[in-house]
């Protein structure tokens, strides 16, 4: 369940909350307006600051008892010395909400002094991120062991305009990120290509969009031999999902967001080792990012035209499966030699990116958990960014920065093309280990023709195998923020 967010003017004397969060920078000092809070804590805040029990370091927390009524508990959360205040507030919100989930308080109030609209939005997104939890496939514990999950948070801010704009954006984008994370967490036997198509239809119905879904037969008619090669090994029906949002100028060229939607990637005949293979349910996080972004864009009612495109299937070994050495033809006519059936994401995207051309896009951005090599190059900190248009690359990196989803550019030089030359076909689907993220993008470039294009390799950033403090093991919501900030930037 998504957190319900509110915003209100601060009135600490009248506040009735089981938990008040105060987000503070390093070397914090008491604010006059917090006197009522300190009174509720019998002076414990002033003492904690004077004794330097709490120094406001990043992620530092101190939990204090409050009154019987009114402000019942107080949590101080440190933000360090932030260069980027929205980013620090996002983080503090997430830390606070996770702590509230552990305490089982159900609701909280969040204060950090004066907040601009942008800052309030960031705090709201952080709270939503931290409150997010995935419990739907677990049996509930007995009643006496249950702790109330955080369901409501009120952000306190004096500026009414900031409250309105910031709250609305936080709710919209938070819903998109929560949707993407839920889809990511759902296992492959639940979140199938059909399930993703139904999710797109649901978004379309609620938010006034249109969907078109191509199934295996339709893709055969479109001669999408590359996508279909991946889907050959599975009995599940593959889906090419198109979700169209039109609120921009009539006939205005759309922004096209493309997502890799591998509901499970076993590697196929080039099968992956058993150890850790279960993580490959997350191979649809690019697609989840597109759906999450469309959810947010629809709720924000941005005045733009955007099309979401998802290529969804499952990569499985079987007697029917594609095999190394096979040559297939993509819908743009190019012949591909399949060297490694585990390099399947690029085969799916080849036909989806070729399809995108008929939409006459203003720009195409795809997101894919495409290469393990990207995790080696950039770790879990930055998304790999590659493309054919330098200005667009900068624009996308800027959007990611604003969203707290850093991206880093890798080169897409012609010199790398030699690595994916084939003896028998126009191109091969694997260049081996050197420059694995770049050769994957070089492959995609052959199909991303006729429009400005940027590729996001989110293999290291869309989900985390360790607890990040703000986010537990599992999906992070990346690249929803990047997509939404990009589209918002274009809508301005």
The residues of the shown chain that bind ligand BES, judged by CB under 6 A, are 265, 283, 340, 342-345, 369-373, 375, 430, 436, 459
**Distance in angstroms (rounded) separating the CA atoms of residues 130 and 92:** 9
**C-alpha–C-alpha distance, residues 366 and 350, integer Å:** 11
Residue 342 as a binder of Mn ion (CB under 5 A): the answer is yes
| Given the residues 90, 168, 281, 346, the one annotated as active site | 346
Q: Is 265 in the site for Mn ion (CB under 5 A)?
A: yes
Contact 120, 139 (CB under 8 A): no
Residue 38 found at the interface with Zn ion (CB under 5 A): no
Encoded one letter per residue, x for contact with Zn ion by CB under 5 A and - for no contact, window 254-283 reads --------x--x-----------------x
Q: How far is the CB of 467 from ligand BES (least distance, A)?
A: 18
Q: Are strands 305-315 and 239-246 parallel, antiparallel or unpaired?
A: antiparallel
Burial class, 2, CB count within 10 angstroms (exposed 0-12 / middle 13-18 / buried 19+): middle
Could you tell me the smallest distance in angstroms from the CB atom of residue 300 to ligand BES? Answer: 30
Task: For Mn ion, give the closer residue by CB, 38 or 283.
Answer: 283
Minimal CA–CA distance to 393: which of 353, 364, 358? 364
From the list Mn ion, Zn ion, ligand BES, none, pick the one residue 66 interacts with, judged by a Cβ distance below 5 to 8 Å according to partner type.
none
- Nearer CB in complex with Mn ion: 133/342: 342
Measure the CA–CA gap between 150 and 106, rounded to whole angstroms. Answer: 4
How many beta carbons lie within 10 A of that of residue 424, not counting itself? 9
The smaller minimum CB distance to ligand BES, of residues 186 and 359, is found at 186
The residue whose two tokens read 């008491």 is: 30
Pairing of strands 61-65, 148-156: unpaired
Q: In 277-344, which residue ranges form alpha helices assigned H by DSSP?
A: 285-300
Do residues 107 and 71 touch, judged by C-beta distance below 8 A? no
Q: What is the DSSP letter of 254?
A: P
Q: Residue 69 has what DSSP assignment? A: S
51 is catalytic: no
Taking the complex as a whole, how short is the minimal distance between the CB of residue 270 and ligand BES, in angstroms?
7
Candidates 13-21, 215-223, 262-270, 322-330: pick the segment binding Mn ion (CB under 5 A). Answer: 262-270
Shortest spacing between CB 475 and Zn ion, in angstroms: 15
Q: Which does 373 bind (CB under 5 to 8 A by kind): Mn ion, Zn ion, ligand BES, none?
A: ligand BES
**Least distance to ligand BES, CB of residue 193, Å:** 16
Q: Which residue is nearest to Mn ion (CB)?
A: 342
357 flagged as catalytic: no
Can you read off the two tokens belonging to residue 280?
């490959």
Distance CA(79)–CA(27), nearest Å, equals 10
Residue 395's binding partner among Zn ion, Mn ion, ligand BES, none (Cβ under 5 to 8 angstroms by kind) is none
Q: What is the CA radius of gyration of the chain?
A: 24
**94 or 285: CB nearest ligand BES:** 285
Is residue 243 within a helix (H) or strand (E), and if so which, with residue range?
strand 239-246
> Interface with Zn ion includes 366 (CB under 5 A)?
no
Given the residues 247, 272, 323, 401, select the one marked as catalytic.
272
Catalytic residues: 272, 346
Chain residues that interact with Zn ion, rule: CB under 5 A? 262, 265, 283, 345
Binding site for Mn ion (CB under 5 A): 265, 342, 344
């Amino acid at each position: 369940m998504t957190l319900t967010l509110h915003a209100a003017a601060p009135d600490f004397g009248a506040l009735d909350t089981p938990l008040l969060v105060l987000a503070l920078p390093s070397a914090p000092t008491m604010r006059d307006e917090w006197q009522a809070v300190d009174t509720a804590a019998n002076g414990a805040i002033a003492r904690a600051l004077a004794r330097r029990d709490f120094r406001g370091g990043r992620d530092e927390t101190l939990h204090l008892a409050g009154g019987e009524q009114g402000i019942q508990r107080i949590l101080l959360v440190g933000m360090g010395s932030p260069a980027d205040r929205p980013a620090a507030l996002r983080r503090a919100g997430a830390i606070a909400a996770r702590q509230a989930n552990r305490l089982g308080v159900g609701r909280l109030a969040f204060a950090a002094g004066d907040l601009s609209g942008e800052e309030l939005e960031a705090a709201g997104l952080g709270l939503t991120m931290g409150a997010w939890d995935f419990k739907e496939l677990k049996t509930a514990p007995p009643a006496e062991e249950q702790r109330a999950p955080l369901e409501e948070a009120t952000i306190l801010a004096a500026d009414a305009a900031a409250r309105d704009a910031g709250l609305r954006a936080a709710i919209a984008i938070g819903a998109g990120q929560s949707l993407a994370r839920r889809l990511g967490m759902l296992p492959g036997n639940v979140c199938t290509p059909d399930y993703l198509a139904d999710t797109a239809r649901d978004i379309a119905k609620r938010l006034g969009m249109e969907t078109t879904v191509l199934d295996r037969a339709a893709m055969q008619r479109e001669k999408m031999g590359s996508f279909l090669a991946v889907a050959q090994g599975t009995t599940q029906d593959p889906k090419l999902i198109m979700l169209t949002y039109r609120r921009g100028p009539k006939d205005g060229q759309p922004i096209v967001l493309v997502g890799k939607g591998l509901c499970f990637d076993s590697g196929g005949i080039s099968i992956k080792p058993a150890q850790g293979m279960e993580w490959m349910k997350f191979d649809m996080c690019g697609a989840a990012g597109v759906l999450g972004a469309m959810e947010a864009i629809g709720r924000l009612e941005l005045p733009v035209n955007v099309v979401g495109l998802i290529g969804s299937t499952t990569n499985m070994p079987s007697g029917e499966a594609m095999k190394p050495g096979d040559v297939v033809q993509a819908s743009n006519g190019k012949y591909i030699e399949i060297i490694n059936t585990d390099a399947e994401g690029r085969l799916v995207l080849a036909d989806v990116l070729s399809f995108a051309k008929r939409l006459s896009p203003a720009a195409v951005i795809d997101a894919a958990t495409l290469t393990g090599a990207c995790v080696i190059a950039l770790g879990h900190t930055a998304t790999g960014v590659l493309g054919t248009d330098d200005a667009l690359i900068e624009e996308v990196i800027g959007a990611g920065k604003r969203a707290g989803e850093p991206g880093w550019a890798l080169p897409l030089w012609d010199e790398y093309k030699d690595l994916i030359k084939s003896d028998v076909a126009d191109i091969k689907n694997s260049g081996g280990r050197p420059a694995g993220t770049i050769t994957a993008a070089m492959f995609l470039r052959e199909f991303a023709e006729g429009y400005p294009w940027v590729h996001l390799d989110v293999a290291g950033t869309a989900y985390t195998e360790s607890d990040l403090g703000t986010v537990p093991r599992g999906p992070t919501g990346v690249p929803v923020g990047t997509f939404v900030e990009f589209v918002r930037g274009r809508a301005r």
